[in-house]
Structure formats: structure tokens, C-alpha cells
A and B are shown apart, each in its own frame.
Chain A
Amino acid sequence: MGASTFGGGYAVIPVAERELVKKKGWLTIEEVLDYYTIAQITPGIISVNLATFVGNKQAGTLGGIFATLGFVLPGISLVMAAALLISNFAELPIVQHAFAGIRIAVAALILDTVIKMIKGAFKDAKAVAIYITVLAISLVPLGIFPPEVRALLKSPVFLVLASGALALVIYRKKPRGAKEGQ
């Protein structure tokens, strides 16, 4: 998977969906989303965290370690080869044109996976509301807030944790809130 993930960390998600969910059946699409969430709020690189998670689930601690190494080794070896052989690798016009094309394909692949994930995440109206709020905060410039507040609001860690806290409030009220005349 490390060798076939082009375009950075997010691009691993469509590959994971294909290889691990559909072909191997090791994970469900919801689990990919869960691991992705945890990878967001824990230190480290998201795609690497995801690899450790999957390896650990399949084959314990060693599995986690080996899955991660397997994921990063192709890329770093190629980087070294490229850096040693062609000093201006990234400036070659052919590489730049190819990468402009790759970026479009990666966006399309992620969109395809996002649509599948949304189906799994939208279990009720509250979930849809959380989704829309997070998406809006991420996209809208929020110019009215001072830069520090903006940085906090837009940080994925904050958004994920706040949504978790919000879920505790809105979902847990229900059973106790029954006496409120529902």
C-alpha cells in the first residue's frame, strides 16, 4: 500500500478502503473512519497511525510495527533514489505535469471514499448536524475571530474532541430526558 499511495496521507484512505475493506475484509468502512479519527487526535502522521492500527488488529504488536515499516519503506527508499540520482527530480516538467494529473485523480478517489464514509457516519439528524458544522468551520475563513481563536477552532484535534463532547451531551441526555415529556 505504501508503494501505491500517491499524493500524500489522505490518498491512503481510498487505497485502504479497496485493499483492507473490500479485498481482505479485515476492516469495515466504519472502522477505517474510527482509526482515521484516532489518528487525527493522536500525535504522529495519520497514514502511519492507520498502518499501525491495522497491523496491530491483525497480528498484535509486531504486526503493528511491521505494517508501519512496510508502509513507509517503499516511499523513503524511492526518495533516496530520486534524491541521489536526479538532483532536480521535482522540477522536471514531466514530473510536474504528471503530478498535476495525479492531484486530480487523488481528489476524485477521496471524494468516492468520502461519500461511502458519509453513508456510514450519518446515522441520524444529529450526526448530520455535527458533520455540517465541522465542514463549515473547516471551510469558512472565520475572519471575525482573532487569529489565535481561529487556529484553535479550525484545528482537527479541537473539532474532533468537541464533537465527541457534544455527542456525550446530546446522545446521553435521551434516556434521562424521557421525563421531560417525550
Chain B
Amino acid sequence: MKKILLLIFTISLSTVFSLNTFAVETSTSEVVTKNTELSAETGSESVSESEVTNDTTAAKTEISATEKSAALVMYADGNIVIDGYFDDWADKPKVELTYDGNDGERQGNISAYRDDEKIYLYAQVRINSLDQYDGSGFRLSAGGKTIDFQAKVPGWEPVKTGNKYDLDIRDNSWNLLGNGRLSMQEGSNELEFTISISSLLAKGFTDEDLKNLEFSNYSYGKGSISLAGTSTYPAILICFGIIIAGFAVSKFGKGAGKK
């Protein structure tokens, strides 16, 4: 009988973990659903594509803030604001990008961060001439899956050095994954953008996949940045604890507490 109860105890704890995960997943899926509804509503008002993007982004931010208070916080906040000012990346680790050759000349650098809802990416890349920008060649690998995407300036007008632009992050099927800002500077371009976790989940990635990420950009240079979690898988250890403590109480419990 006691062994059965020990089993129930173990199952109860596993259930708690499942409920926790479920709560987070439900929260995420609700955000996706609400975003979809909002996108549909905004789209029906016949406004321009960039306005739709901005409205959807604003709605996402608003909903995210609301949902975040109810969901379990799993990652530290990186305090990154996608505004075209890159001071919030100054204290984040960066990886140098180099030419794919033996000289190893620095081409730029790349940095990445993630929190509960978004993945953030920063890139600074050298350019050889004015008004030059290439937002293609990004690749995200996670859990044995990859997705190629690009950071494109909406519209078809040519970009100019000295200006800042909004960015749409789109996969090869032109689905919107996120948004960002580009700063065109003399000698280099700097860009920062986010990709929503929910958009990657919709692309077939799982929460488990997205615990270990790798970003690269073959257009910008050789090198990649990896983000990895080191979970202890606490459920396993707790099971050990239950068995040991449960056994001890079961075996020696009769005299327990008596001194």
C-alpha cells in the first residue's frame, strides 16, 4: 500500500511539472491566437503593410506584457529595446565574424539573447561602400532543425547611409517572424531584431528544441553564436528523493518523532 502511495506521490509531482509547462504553453498559444485575431482585424481595415506590421507588433507587446504577469518567468530579462540604438547590447557577449579564409580578418560581430517570449539578435557588419545593405543569409538552428530568414527593409526604396530603417524578419516563404531596426553607418551596418518564440513554435520547433539555439549568417562571415540551457532535469532527482525519503519514513517511521 505504501509503495502504491509512493508511486502516486511521484506521479503527483510529475503532474505539477506538466501543469507548469502546460500553463506556459497555454499562455503562449493564447498570445498566438490573439495576435492572429488582431492581425486579421487590422488587415481588414485596408491599411499599408508596414502599418499592419507596426500595429501587430504593438498588439503583441501589449498582450505579451499582460500574459507575462500570469506566466511562469523562466529567463532573465535582457532589457533589450528594439529602437535602433544599440547601447543595450554593450554588455552582452558577442562573437566575431571573420572572412571565410585563412586571414581571419574581422568582418563584424553578432550577439544573441532570449527571454520567455522572444529571441533577440544583434549584428554589426562591415560594408565596403555607401548605401550598401544585405539582410539575407541568416540561419537559426535548433534541435536538429534549421530555418533560413532575412532581415528586410519593408518596401522597395533604396536605403541610404546615415539613416535608420524598420526591418521585417521573414522566412523564405515570406512569413513574418519578427521585426527590428537597422542603422546604416559609414563603414558598417548595425541591426537588431527579435523573433517571437510563438512564430518558431508555429514553424514546427518545440520548446525543447528552442532551449539550444545557434545563429549564423553566411553573408556576413564565418562564425556563429550559440545559446544553450543546462537543465538539471529536476524530475529525475526528485524521484530519487521521494524514494529515499519515502523508504526511510516507511521503514523507520514507527518510532519517528519520539525522543
Same complex origin of A and B:
no
